[in-house]
Amino acid sequence: MADAVPTEPAPKVSLSDDEWRTRLTPAEYAVLRQAGTERPFVGEYTDTETEGVYECRACGAELFRSTEKFHSHCGWPSFFDPASSDAVILRSDTSLGMRRVEVVCASCHSHLGHVFEGEGYPTPTDQRYCINSISLRLVPKD
């Protein structure tokens, strides 16, 4: 897995904190803009199998597809690959006294979750993008 991008591109969608607070609910703001985490097993997309595209709840950018979603039983929606290689940005995260890789929306730099690898899931990439449901909006396939 690639380490965090050393120099990030500027976000395409850039709003002030007040504008984000107006656009998002307090719970969405806490996760998307303050890098919070929703409790496990409570998110609306944890176990869904609906076909479609998962967009960023903050800006509407396409992030993941249902064809890359899998059941990891970790409590959050899991994907083995983003919709495209430039849909997300990976950042080094050393909070909580450990080294993790944060996943943010490339379009608006909102926090989505973390990516892990080498956990032994039978997926093509051996990666688990562990994403907060509240960071996503599912657009069902027609």
- Cα-Cα-Cα-Cα torsion 67, 36, 27, 77, nearest 10 degrees, comes to 20
Cα(81)–Cα(66) distance, integer angstroms: 10
Active site residue 105: no
CB 115 within 8 A of CB 1: yes
* List of residues 6+ apart from 142 with CB closer than 8 A: none
Catalytic residue among 56, 59, 105, 130: 130
Establish how many alpha carbons lie within 13 A of residue 127's alpha carbon, considering only the half-sphere containing its beta carbon: 16
Q: Could you give the residue numbers annotated as active site?
A: 130
